[in-house]
Amino acid sequence: MSVFHVVEKFVSINGEGQHAGELAVFVRLRGCNLKCSYCDTRWACTEDAKAEEMTEAEIVSYVISTGVKRVTLTGGEPLLADNAIDLLEAFAAHKDIIIEIETNGSVDIHPFAEIDNPPAFTLDYKLKGSGMEDRMLTDNFKYLKSKDTVKFVCSDVSELDRVCEIVDKYRISDKCTALISPVFGRIEPADMVDYLITHKRNDIRLQLQLHKFIWDPNKRGV
């Protein structure tokens, strides 16, 4: 059995991604290798963040106990966890559980995409405003399938030109869903819509973080 450091686990709705608005169990693992300027879970990224030690069997048992079929593994960066593949394989053995991983774009997803009953990936591409664009692994785009998502969090409208460049260069919309999302409070969503209209980007979808409108933007466990 492997041990995972779980800083948070709860049931809510997916705030973003292809399944926004659907019930999901969230399991947040400790630690991250990036320091994005707009990170809203920085508290979960430090090595000394308070966490519950759980085995993969205990995590799966918790998820089953909720009665919710969709699971989101998040962080931090969940794929950095020691033996993360053990946790994914434990979930994969339960065919009625649907697994989604939110990953920051700097970790090779290939090993995780090759397991039986692989998860769906919500793969970030960090733009210049994050301060982390040089850490992105564009080879990850090769392993994406229709159930996956590439998410671009934009700090200002000028970054949308870069989004279009990446989407076109790697033919992302031919493989999966391409989402743009604003850094909360830093860019007006209406301006992003205007950009999509002006540039006729039928292949890119705007999405807002639902949980930040339903609850206080800083509230945890939602």
The token duo for 7 is 């800083």
What burial class does residue 103 get, using C-beta atoms within 10 Å of its C-beta: 0-12 exposed, 13-18 middle, 19+ buried? buried
Annotated binding residues for S-adenosyl-L-methionine: 38-40, 76
Residue numbers in the known binding site for substrate are 13-15, 28, 74
Asked whether residue 183 carries a pLDDT value surpassing 80, the answer given is: yes
Residue 222 confidence (pLDDT): 63
- Residue type, position 209, single letter: Q
Tokens, residue 190 = 């209406």
pLDDT tens readout for residues 14-50: 888 888 889 999 999 999 999 999 998 899 998 889 9
Instruction: Determine how many CB atoms are found less than 10 A away from the CB of residue 202.
Output: 8
| pLDDT tens by residue, 66-108 | 999 999 999 999 999 999 999 999 999 999 999 999 999 999 9
Per the annotation, binding residues for [4Fe-4S] cluster are 32, 36, 39
The pair of structure tokens assigned to 120 is 């769906």
Contact 99, 60 (CB under 8 A): no
Please indicate, yes or no, whether the overall pTM of this predicted structure exceeds 0.75: yes
Residues 14 and 21: their CA atoms lie apart, in Å, by 5
Summarize the annotated binding site for Mg(2+) as residue ranges.
Answer: 41
Annotated binding site: 13-15, 28, 32, 36, 38-41, 74, 76
* Own/partner long-range contacts of 128-134 (Cβ < 8 Å, ≥24 apart): 128/155, 128/159, 128/162, 129/37, 129/38, 129/154, 129/155, 129/156, 129/159, 129/183, 130/34, 130/36, 130/37, 130/38, 130/155, 131/35, 131/36, 131/37, 132/34, 132/35, 132/36, 132/104, 132/106
